[in-house]
Structure 1
Amino acid sequence: MAQLVLFADYQRKGRRVFFSREDLAQLLSIYSLQVSRGLWRDYAIDHRSNMAVFSIYRRSQEHPLFSVNKVVLKGDRDANYVLLSRNRQLASSRLLSDIIEVLARQLAVVD
Protein backbone atom coordinates (compact mmCIF):
# COMPACT_ATOMS: atom_id res chain seq x y z
CA MET A 1 0.00 0.00 0.00
CA ALA A 2 1.21 3.51 -0.81
CA GLN A 3 2.25 5.82 1.97
CA LEU A 4 1.10 9.44 1.97
CA VAL A 5 3.98 11.90 2.37
CA LEU A 6 3.34 15.58 3.02
CA PHE A 7 5.55 17.89 0.99
CA ALA A 8 5.49 20.48 3.79
CA ASP A 9 7.39 18.03 6.02
CA TYR A 10 10.33 18.09 3.60
CA GLN A 11 10.47 21.80 2.81
CA ARG A 12 13.26 23.83 4.29
CA LYS A 13 12.26 25.30 7.59
CA GLY A 14 14.52 28.37 7.27
CA ARG A 15 13.61 31.60 5.58
CA ARG A 16 15.08 31.97 2.10
CA VAL A 17 16.94 35.22 1.47
CA PHE A 18 16.94 36.97 -1.89
CA PHE A 19 18.03 40.34 -3.21
CA SER A 20 15.08 42.62 -3.84
CA ARG A 21 14.63 44.47 -7.09
CA GLU A 22 15.89 47.67 -5.42
CA ASP A 23 18.95 45.85 -4.06
CA LEU A 24 19.82 44.51 -7.50
CA ALA A 25 19.33 47.93 -9.10
CA GLN A 26 21.83 49.48 -6.67
CA LEU A 27 24.34 46.65 -7.03
CA LEU A 28 24.15 46.56 -10.82
CA SER A 29 24.49 50.33 -11.13
CA ILE A 30 27.82 50.36 -9.25
CA TYR A 31 28.85 47.19 -11.08
CA SER A 32 28.19 48.73 -14.51
CA LEU A 33 30.14 51.86 -13.54
CA GLN A 34 33.18 49.79 -12.58
CA VAL A 35 32.85 47.63 -15.70
CA SER A 36 32.92 50.77 -17.85
CA ARG A 37 36.15 51.75 -16.08
CA GLY A 38 37.60 48.33 -16.88
CA LEU A 39 38.03 47.26 -13.25
CA TRP A 40 35.42 44.52 -13.00
CA ARG A 41 34.40 41.97 -15.59
CA ASP A 42 32.03 39.40 -14.13
CA TYR A 43 29.57 38.81 -11.30
CA ALA A 44 27.63 35.95 -9.76
CA ILE A 45 24.60 35.69 -7.50
CA ASP A 46 24.35 32.81 -5.04
CA HIS A 47 21.65 31.86 -2.56
CA ARG A 48 22.50 29.96 0.58
CA SER A 49 20.37 28.94 3.53
CA ASN A 50 20.24 32.29 5.32
CA MET A 51 22.01 34.62 2.89
CA ALA A 52 22.21 35.91 -0.65
CA VAL A 53 25.64 36.70 -2.11
CA PHE A 54 26.54 39.08 -4.96
CA SER A 55 30.16 38.33 -5.95
CA ILE A 56 32.28 40.62 -8.14
CA TYR A 57 35.17 39.29 -10.22
CA ARG A 58 38.05 40.85 -12.10
CA ARG A 59 38.26 37.72 -14.24
CA SER A 60 35.83 34.84 -14.24
CA GLN A 61 38.53 32.27 -13.41
CA GLU A 62 39.57 33.97 -10.17
CA HIS A 63 38.18 34.24 -6.68
CA PRO A 64 35.82 37.18 -6.18
CA LEU A 65 37.37 40.59 -5.51
CA PHE A 66 34.37 41.60 -3.43
CA SER A 67 31.19 39.97 -2.26
CA VAL A 68 28.12 41.67 -0.86
CA ASN A 69 26.27 39.34 1.50
CA LYS A 70 22.67 39.91 2.53
CA VAL A 71 22.30 37.97 5.78
CA VAL A 72 19.18 37.39 7.83
CA LEU A 73 19.96 35.79 11.16
CA LYS A 74 17.42 33.73 13.04
CA GLY A 75 15.03 36.00 14.87
CA ASP A 76 15.95 39.13 12.88
CA ARG A 77 13.36 40.84 10.72
CA ASP A 78 15.76 43.05 8.77
CA ALA A 79 18.72 41.97 6.73
CA ASN A 80 22.31 42.90 7.46
CA TYR A 81 24.61 43.66 4.51
CA VAL A 82 28.27 42.67 4.75
CA LEU A 83 31.03 43.58 2.30
CA LEU A 84 33.85 41.04 2.10
CA SER A 85 37.11 41.05 0.18
CA ARG A 86 39.09 37.83 0.20
CA ASN A 87 37.36 36.67 3.39
CA ARG A 88 38.05 39.97 5.19
CA GLN A 89 35.10 42.03 6.32
CA LEU A 90 35.39 45.57 4.98
CA ALA A 91 32.00 46.97 6.00
CA SER A 92 28.73 45.98 7.60
CA SER A 93 25.44 47.84 7.71
CA ARG A 94 21.69 47.46 7.81
CA LEU A 95 21.56 49.68 4.70
CA LEU A 96 22.83 48.55 1.32
CA SER A 97 23.56 52.17 0.38
CA ASP A 98 26.33 52.26 3.01
CA ILE A 99 27.97 49.24 1.41
CA ILE A 100 27.59 50.76 -2.06
CA GLU A 101 29.41 53.90 -0.86
CA VAL A 102 32.40 51.80 0.18
CA LEU A 103 32.44 50.10 -3.24
CA ALA A 104 32.13 53.46 -4.99
CA ARG A 105 35.34 54.67 -3.38
CA GLN A 106 37.16 52.48 -5.89
CA LEU A 107 38.59 49.97 -3.51
CA ALA A 108 41.54 48.30 -5.15
CA VAL A 109 42.90 44.98 -4.02
CA VAL A 110 46.69 44.90 -4.06
CA ASP A 111 48.21 41.59 -5.07
Structure 2
Amino acid sequence: MNMQKPPPIQGPRQPAEQVVFNRMELGAIMGLYGRMVAAGEWRDYGLSFLRDVAVFSIFRRTAETPIYRIEKRPKLRSRQGQFAVIGMDGRILKRGNDLRIVLRVLDRKLIRAVK
Protein backbone atom coordinates (compact mmCIF):
# COMPACT_ATOMS: atom_id res chain seq x y z
CA MET A 1 0.00 0.00 0.00
CA ASN A 2 1.39 3.45 -0.96
CA MET A 3 0.73 5.99 1.80
CA GLN A 4 1.51 9.58 0.92
CA LYS A 5 1.80 12.33 3.46
CA PRO A 6 -0.87 14.98 3.14
CA PRO A 7 0.39 18.43 2.14
CA PRO A 8 1.32 20.61 5.12
CA ILE A 9 -1.43 22.84 6.41
CA GLN A 10 -0.59 26.43 5.71
CA GLY A 11 -1.56 28.92 8.36
CA PRO A 12 -1.96 32.64 7.95
CA ARG A 13 0.91 34.30 6.16
CA GLN A 14 3.44 35.90 8.41
CA PRO A 15 3.93 39.60 7.68
CA ALA A 16 7.31 40.68 6.38
CA GLU A 17 9.82 41.49 9.10
CA GLN A 18 9.67 45.08 10.29
CA VAL A 19 11.94 47.21 12.40
CA VAL A 20 10.05 48.58 15.40
CA PHE A 21 10.79 50.57 18.53
CA ASN A 22 10.51 48.49 21.68
CA ARG A 23 8.60 49.64 24.77
CA MET A 24 11.61 51.22 26.49
CA GLU A 25 12.65 53.08 23.33
CA LEU A 26 9.14 54.42 22.78
CA GLY A 27 8.98 55.44 26.45
CA ALA A 28 12.15 57.52 26.09
CA ILE A 29 10.92 59.11 22.86
CA MET A 30 7.44 59.85 24.22
CA GLY A 31 8.90 61.34 27.41
CA LEU A 32 10.89 63.83 25.35
CA TYR A 33 7.91 64.42 23.05
CA GLY A 34 5.64 65.20 26.03
CA ARG A 35 8.11 67.74 27.44
CA MET A 36 8.41 69.47 24.06
CA VAL A 37 4.62 69.57 23.61
CA ALA A 38 4.26 71.10 27.08
CA ALA A 39 6.86 73.74 26.09
CA GLY A 40 4.81 74.52 22.96
CA GLU A 41 7.57 73.45 20.55
CA TRP A 42 6.01 70.35 18.96
CA ARG A 43 2.42 69.52 18.08
CA ASP A 44 2.22 66.23 16.19
CA TYR A 45 4.11 63.04 15.41
CA GLY A 46 4.01 60.12 13.01
CA LEU A 47 5.34 56.57 13.15
CA SER A 48 6.60 54.50 10.23
CA PHE A 49 7.74 50.89 10.50
CA LEU A 50 9.53 49.57 7.43
CA ARG A 51 11.71 46.54 6.72
CA ASP A 52 15.02 48.35 7.33
CA VAL A 53 14.07 51.32 9.52
CA ALA A 54 11.61 52.52 12.15
CA VAL A 55 10.96 56.28 12.08
CA PHE A 56 9.40 58.62 14.65
CA SER A 57 8.68 61.88 12.79
CA ILE A 58 8.13 65.10 14.77
CA PHE A 59 6.08 68.00 13.42
CA ARG A 60 5.68 71.58 14.54
CA ARG A 61 2.32 71.75 12.76
CA THR A 62 0.28 68.89 11.34
CA ALA A 63 0.48 69.82 7.64
CA GLU A 64 4.25 70.37 7.51
CA THR A 65 7.22 68.21 6.77
CA PRO A 66 8.82 66.78 9.92
CA ILE A 67 11.27 69.05 11.75
CA TYR A 68 13.07 66.02 13.22
CA ARG A 69 13.15 62.29 12.58
CA ILE A 70 14.30 59.74 15.11
CA GLU A 71 15.38 56.63 13.21
CA LYS A 72 16.29 53.12 14.28
CA ARG A 73 18.38 51.14 11.78
CA PRO A 74 19.57 47.88 13.41
CA LYS A 75 21.91 47.11 10.49
CA LEU A 76 24.08 50.09 11.54
CA ARG A 77 24.42 48.84 15.13
CA SER A 78 28.03 47.69 14.70
CA ARG A 79 29.08 50.69 12.59
CA GLN A 80 27.78 54.17 13.37
CA GLY A 81 25.03 53.24 15.79
CA GLN A 82 21.47 52.15 15.21
CA PHE A 83 19.76 55.35 16.43
CA ALA A 84 19.92 58.74 14.73
CA VAL A 85 18.27 62.14 15.08
CA ILE A 86 17.93 63.79 11.68
CA GLY A 87 17.03 67.43 11.11
CA MET A 88 14.59 68.90 8.59
CA ASP A 89 17.41 69.49 6.10
CA GLY A 90 18.57 65.85 6.26
CA ARG A 91 21.62 66.47 8.47
CA ILE A 92 22.35 63.83 11.08
CA LEU A 93 22.40 65.73 14.39
CA LYS A 94 23.43 62.77 16.55
CA ARG A 95 23.99 59.05 16.05
CA GLY A 96 24.75 56.22 18.47
CA ASN A 97 23.66 52.94 20.03
CA ASP A 98 22.23 54.46 23.25
CA LEU A 99 18.91 56.12 22.44
CA ARG A 100 18.85 58.27 25.59
CA ILE A 101 22.23 59.79 24.74
CA VAL A 102 21.16 60.37 21.13
CA LEU A 103 17.97 62.14 22.30
CA ARG A 104 19.98 64.59 24.41
CA VAL A 105 20.61 66.66 21.27
CA LEU A 106 16.88 67.49 21.30
CA ASP A 107 16.77 68.00 25.09
CA ARG A 108 19.33 70.78 24.68
CA LYS A 109 16.96 72.47 22.25
CA LEU A 110 14.24 72.32 24.95
CA ILE A 111 16.54 73.99 27.49
CA ARG A 112 17.25 76.80 25.01
CA ALA A 113 13.53 77.18 24.20
CA VAL A 114 12.55 77.52 27.88
CA LYS A 115 15.17 80.18 28.68
TM range (shorter): 0.7 to 0.9
Q: Once superposed, which parts of structure 1, at least 4 consecutive aligned residues long, lie more than 2 Å away?
A: 6-12
Q: Is the 8 A contact 2:54 2:71 kept in 1?
A: yes
Question: Which of the numbers 22, 26, 33 marks the counterpart of 2:35?
Answer: 33
The unaligned stretches of length 5 or more in structure 2 are 1-7
Q: Which residue of 2 aligns with 1:93?
A: 96
TM-score normalised by structure 2 residue count: 0.75
2: CA distance between counterparts of 1:75 and 1:55?
21
Give the paired residue count: 101
Q: Percent identity?
A: 28
Q: What's 1:46 paired with?
A: 48
Deviation at 1:62, TM superposition (A): 0.4
Partner of 1:81: 83
Aligned to 2:61, the other structure's residue is in SS state coil
Alpha-carbon contact 2:77-2:97 (below 8 Å) kept: no
Give 1 or 2: higher helix fraction: 2
Say which one has the larger Rg: 2
Relative to the length of structure 1, the TM-score reads 0.78
Q: Which runs of 5+ in 1 are unaligned?
A: none
For residue 51 of structure 1, report the CA deviation from its aligned partner.
Answer: 0.8
User: Greater strand share, 1 or 2?
Assistant: 1
